[in-house]
Structure 1
Amino acid sequence: MEKVYRLDGLDCANCAAKIERSVQQIQGVEEAKVDFMSTKLTIKASAEDIDRVSNEAKGIVHKLEPEVNVNSVQAEKKEETPYKKLIQIGIAVIALLLLALFTPPMPWKLVAYLIVYLWVGYDVLKTAITNIFHGELFDENFLMAIATVGAIAIGEYPEAVAVMLFYQIGEFFQDYAVTKSRKSIGSLLAIRPDSANLIQNGEVKKVAPDTIAIGDHILIKPGEKVPLDGIVIEGRSMLDTSALTGESVPRSINKGEEILSGFINQSGQLTVEVTTTFGESTVSKILDLVENASSKKAPAENFITNFAHYYTPIVVGLAALLAIIPPLVTGEPFYDWVYRALTFLVISCPCALVISVPLSFFGGIGGASKAGILIKGSNYIETLAKVDTLVFDKTGTLTKGVFRVQKVETTMDEKDFLRYVASAEQSSSHPIAQSIVNYVDQPLLPVTELEELAGFGISVVIDGQRFLVGNEKLLVKNHVTFEPVNEIGTLVYVAADNVYLGYLVIADELKDHVAAAITEVKHLGVKRTVMLTGDNQAIANAVGQKVGIDQVYSELLPEDKVNYLEAELNREQKTAFVGDGMNDAPVLARADLGIAMGGLGSDAAIEAADVVIMDDQPAKIPTAIQIARKTMKIVKQNIVFAIGIKIIVLVLGALGFATMYAAVFADVGVTILAVLNAMRCLKIK
């Protein structure tokens, strides 16, 4: 059983890691995760243990972080204001300037600096002392407390106050950056509808969306969000689909068409028959995907968490050795070496790494969501960035999955020819027949003596003439003289009173910009593109050649696709499979990375996939790869930058060339720069 809580006031990545480790140690916990970016605590335990475990977890959160409130995810979240921190910083800056201009004599100098120090550093000192009593050492509060108290002890009052002040300024900017990133994701989640207009007994009532059942009718007025998935049964309108698909161009919708929750109705009034409950609606699934995406950590993210856990105690130990051993060995004064050790401690704080790396992944997920690409976890960003083999399904992925009349050849007037063929096919429910009927925009003629010939076609009488509409075998069977045609697609031959009249070519249409998308992924360095399809060889080869696929494998069953993926593809390469149908779900789950078409794709495919393209367009795949690579580039930049600067300044500090102010830059300055760099991930380009 699983319970999820929101940790309001959680503004420290290291604190999130401490809470996670402590909750994981509770007896009966199967799994516990704290997602710093969404401030969610997720606990898994058996049904009989879950209540006890949840209460113990709340106690641990209160013990470790008294300022953090544990609330249900449904509880209203209060906006946190930065005014308190700004006032604290502002008064400290003014006081420090006054003390620099009018330095009082001792002991008033010590008293004055202590007052300013306690004003600006009270919360840091309080947290450090509380954590010590709880057995939690070696976090940033402990490091700042011991370094600044040590600076006061050796008489460096201005530096102690300045270091604490700069630390608080850095914390303010860090909180601002994290809050901005959370709000950016929050704005993506603003598609959640608050109410729905239920039609009952001719009256319209405003109700909560989760109270509406499948089959109910709802009214969607212009300007309103679509609350649930359904079918339009009355009205026509234009829809803003950008929240789900990332497409800025409005889409038209008419009676009989499917409408998805999260769209915004722009013009006409629509009556919709609901086809899903609120919990299973498109908008709810998307919200769940985006909100929980950052809980699946990438290897780089796990490395940084483990690195910081071991790195800080090691650095504290080195600082202690630096303060004691050199003066004992060389006989030099302790003052210089204690100062170097304190500088060493300030530098060692791992904030830049602990915050900027998960923030980069979170930003990448948010930027992708803006483009209509849902990435289900930061671990999938890392895989997506490394993809070098792309495997595609055909129908519904590269093509629209809808049959259309592609070509008409006839010896008679084309309009009359099409009218006769459509009239003959009007009673059939076969997709080929329906595609012909839908293609003809003129009144159809009545038919008599309709005879369906399984495996051949149909025979009907129209205007006293016997029409044969079907495949090549139908005409051969009836001794009609004609020349067979070699075209890609489904061929429908037509004869009247055993006289050949012509043929139609019915084929699935390619999606827009498919060939350009394949070309672009190759330019991005994808080494190999493959198509796996159940369609016949001639059609599959024609589509593959038209869009630029390297290898085409046709006439495959779903299990054949899985077997091919396992046996024939090079497993040393990162392979992504792109599909949309229920039969693609096993392959999506088996590939290194599954990419599903989310607009018309089956629920099974979307569930099994790691990445979902919301508008069904393969053209979004190169965009997804570019976003993933940009995110990973920024992650690597932050890791190298933060560790590199710290190592340089640590060495300089140990040698006595770095002051406390350089130490503050190596901690606070690097953190701010790394966080600002991470925020670039929110931008798509």
Structure 2
Amino acid sequence: KNIPVERLKSGDIIIVRPGEKIPVDGKILKGQSLLDMSALTGEFVPKRKREGDEVLAGMINNGEGVLEIEVTREFKESYISRILKMVEIAEERKSRTEKLITKFARYYTPVVFIIALSIMILPPIFLKESFSKYFYRGLVLLIISCPCALVISVPFSYFITIGVLAKKGILVKGANFIDTIRNVKTIIFDKTGTLTEGVFEVIDVKSFNGFKNDEIIKFSAYAEFYSNHPIGASIKKKYKGNFDLSLIKNHKEIAGLGVFAEVSGKKIFVGNDRFLHENGIEHKLCIGEGVTVHVVIDGIHAGYFVISDKLKKEAKECVLLFKREGIKVGMLTGDNEFFAKMVAERLNLDFYKAGLLPSEKLEEIEKIVEKSKGKIAFVGDGINDAPSIKRADVGIVMGALGQDIAIENGDVVIMSDNLLKIPEFLKISKNTKKIVLENIIFALSMKIFLTVLGSIGIAGMFSAIFADMGVLLIVLLNSMRIIK
């Protein structure tokens, strides 16, 4: 039966037929189909979803399959509801231009009112002129000088921009960030999952000190079992055996270094070479075309994995677009020097730093902020890079679809993984500034011109109405160009 979406509760079962929109967040219990996620990501790239997959409100069943979905969150708590609330909050956070216009109107309005009142009263008293004549002139001046065109058109332009960006899958948490992005002189990227695909695959395994490849694969997979990191997932995928969870004890993740666990009584560490250096563990120099992940068993360097992570196809174009705008592009990463240097050279980055912990990335951001003459933007995944994203003047989170934590941390949230959305955001921001300035200059010019004519009696009531409503209509129509 059909019921209002507001009455759906967690645990309810709903049926979504081909062509229908998924009303709430849930999990597919039965069926499979292609889902159009453009309402959330701004890109029409259908993805196939099957039994057990999570789905979000706003996705459209664009395939031929009928889906049976279990509701996991009520509509008011759904992902798309949170996005809509975020857009509403963004409209309340005013840009610098909006604040200046509001401040200007606060002083401008009473001054104009006093001048109009003076024109109505003073000439009839001191010059013995006709009261009706100067009352009419004062009234014309009052209507001409109404600041509606300024006070309405500027926020309207930013309101349209926020909507246009949201439609493209770019969520901005305040109109102020639309202004700030234009003043960015340095943009810094995290590497893994931002400049690269973040889809890891083990391409090589090396073992020594008496250990075999099968041993380090098994022990590493067990140590990574409770980890959600993509690198851990690639190691678990490499292991073809079954897991006996009773063998795992004292599992813990070491921020910026790797994971530790006791497996079958052996102490296993899987992570980067920084841990090896800090703990004085002797190891060979490991160089490969990818990320090197070391394995330590009972304090002995047992071997390492070489894990590949491809650059995103649009990464080079994204960097080039920023450089054309005179913006310096850098990278801060926790990965090893060899792979970081390789990425930096391929993308022709201005600077990079490798082997950094999250806290050290924050320190580097602080140094860059002190040296930079303009604003700083940082682009990351919103989870591991949360401190850096919050410290930057504009914190941009990539690929945040379905990630509640990522949405909370970013100032600007890109729903898809497409890096070209960031230069597109910059382009839209610059276009908004251009249109806002056009509106301000046109409105003020017309007001001043007709105010002078009105005060000397040349402009009449028709001119006054045009100066008020006509100018307002023109600047609003001009603001609509942002949509194109």
Q: So what's the TM-score if we normalise by structure 2?
A: 0.76
Tell me: CA distance 1:558–1:274, structure 2 relative to 1, closer, same or farther (3 Å): farther
Paired residues, what number?
A: 426
Offset, 1:309 = 2.9
2:154 to 350, 357, 366: 357
Partners of 1:363 and 1:434 lie apart in 2 by 41
* Structure 2 counterparts to residues 515-530 of structure 1, below 5 A: 515-525=316-326, 527-530=327-330
Aligned to 2:200: 403
Contact 2:5 2:75 in 1 (8 A): no
SS of the residue corresponding to residue 309 of structure 2 reads: strand
1:556 to 326, 334, 356: 356
Aligned to 2:476: 675
Aligned to 1:646: 447
Structure 1 residues 297-353: Cα deviation after superposition (integer angstroms, max 9, x where no partner): 122212222322332221121112223444655565555444332221120112111
Offset, 1:283 = 1.3
Give the gaps of 5 or more residues in structure 1.
1-203, 409-420, 447-451, 456-469, 474-482, 494-502
Offset, 1:592 = 1.1
Residue 377 (1) aligns with residue 174 (2):
yes
Contact 2:202 2:234 in 1 (8 A): yes
1:243 to 28, 39, 45: 39
Query: Which residue identity does 2:332 align to in structure 1?
Result: L
Residue 388 (1) aligns with residue 189 (2):
no
SS of the residue corresponding to residue 188 of structure 2 reads: strand
Partners of 2:55 and 2:348 lie apart in 1 by 33
2:379 to 578, 592, 595: 578
Tell me: CA distance 1:434–1:590, structure 2 relative to 1, closer, same or farther (3 Å): closer
Query: Which residue identity does 1:652 align to in structure 2?
Result: L
* Structure 2 counterparts to residues 443-454 of structure 1, below 5 A: none
Contact 2:185 2:372 in 1 (8 A): no
Offset, 1:670 = 0.4
Offset, 1:426 = 8.2
SS of the residue corresponding to residue 197 of structure 2 reads: strand
Residue 658 (1) aligns with residue 455 (2):
no
Partners of 2:288 and 2:472 lie apart in 1 by 63
Residue 507 (1) aligns with residue 308 (2):
yes
Contact 2:287 2:338 in 1 (8 A): no
Q: Which moved more, 1:237-246 or 1:251-260?
A: 251-260
Tell me: CA distance 1:311–1:234, structure 2 relative to 1, closer, same or farther (3 Å): same
2:425 to 611, 615, 624: 624
Partners of 1:607 and 1:657 lie apart in 2 by 57
Partners of 1:550 and 1:670 lie apart in 2 by 47
Tell me: CA distance 1:573–1:484, structure 2 relative to 1, closer, same or farther (3 Å): closer
Structure 1 residues 33-55: Cα deviation after superposition (integer angstroms, max 9, x where no partner): xxxxxxxxxxxxxxxxxxxxxxx
* Structure 2 counterparts to residues 541-620 of structure 1, below 5 A: 541-569=341-369, 570=371, 572-599=373-400, 602-620=403-421
Partners of 1:299 and 1:402 lie apart in 2 by 40
Query: Which residue identity does 2:453 align to in structure 1?
Result: L
Partners of 2:4 and 2:402 lie apart in 1 by 30
Partners of 1:276 and 1:663 lie apart in 2 by 55
Query: Which residue identity does 1:665 align to in structure 2?
Result: F
Contact 2:41 2:168 in 1 (8 A): yes
Contact 2:34 2:61 in 1 (8 A): yes
1:348 to 115, 122, 145: 145
Structure with max Cα Rg: 1
Residue 306 (1) aligns with residue 103 (2):
yes
Contact 1:241 1:263 in 2 (8 A): yes
Contact 2:149 2:475 in 1 (8 A): yes
Partners of 2:215 and 2:59 lie apart in 1 by 37
Query: Which residue identity does 2:118 align to in structure 1?
Result: L
Tell me: CA distance 1:396–1:563, structure 2 relative to 1, closer, same or farther (3 Å): same
Residue 287 (1) aligns with residue 88 (2):
no
Structure 1 residues 402-450: Cα deviation after superposition (integer angstroms, max 9, x where no partner): 2035689xxxxxxxxxxxx99995894656686489699xxx899xxxx
Aligned to 1:224: 20
Structure 1 residues 603-626: Cα deviation after superposition (integer angstroms, max 9, x where no partner): 333202111101122110011111
Contact 1:579 1:605 in 2 (8 A): no
Offset, 1:259 = 2.8
Offset, 1:554 = 1.6
Query: Which residue identity does 1:309 align to in structure 2?
Result: R
Partners of 2:315 and 2:15 lie apart in 1 by 37
Query: Which residue identity does 1:243 align to in structure 2?
Result: A
Contact 1:403 1:432 in 2 (8 A): yes
Query: Which residue identity does 2:44 align to in structure 1?
Result: S
Partners of 1:210 and 1:389 lie apart in 2 by 48
Structure 1 residues 523-564: Cα deviation after superposition (integer angstroms, max 9, x where no partner): 234x21121221112222222222232211122122222222
Structure 1 residues 261-310: Cα deviation after superposition (integer angstroms, max 9, x where no partner): 32112222334565555444321211211233211112221222232233
Contact 2:291 2:336 in 1 (8 A): no
Tell me: CA distance 1:439–1:676, structure 2 relative to 1, closer, same or farther (3 Å): farther
Query: Which residue identity does 2:387 align to in structure 1?
Result: P
Offset, 1:599 = 3.2
Contact 2:381 2:400 in 1 (8 A): no
Tell me: CA distance 1:259–1:539, structure 2 relative to 1, closer, same or farther (3 Å): farther
Partners of 1:490 and 1:586 lie apart in 2 by 24
Tell me: CA distance 1:620–1:424, structure 2 relative to 1, closer, same or farther (3 Å): same
Give the gaps of 5 or more residues in structure 2.
206-212, 225-229, 243-247, 249-257, 259-269, 274-283, 295-303
Contact 2:291 2:339 in 1 (8 A): no
Offset, 1:487 = 2.8
Query: Which residue identity does 2:420 align to in structure 1?
Result: A
Contact 2:395 2:411 in 1 (8 A): yes
Contact 1:584 1:605 in 2 (8 A): no
Aligned to 2:9: 212
Contact 1:422 1:436 in 2 (8 A): no
Aligned to 2:300: none
Tell me: CA distance 1:512–1:332, structure 2 relative to 1, closer, same or farther (3 Å): same
Partners of 1:667 and 1:211 lie apart in 2 by 49
Contact 2:382 2:409 in 1 (8 A): no
Contact 2:29 2:52 in 1 (8 A): yes
Query: Which residue identity does 1:579 align to in structure 2?
Result: G
SS of the residue corresponding to residue 385 of structure 2 reads: helix
Partners of 1:247 and 1:370 lie apart in 2 by 9
Structure 1 residues 204-249: Cα deviation after superposition (integer angstroms, max 9, x where no partner): 9968466533x77654432232344445454321111110111123
Partners of 2:324 and 2:76 lie apart in 1 by 41
Partners of 2:312 and 2:444 lie apart in 1 by 46
Residue 538 (1) aligns with residue 335 (2):
no
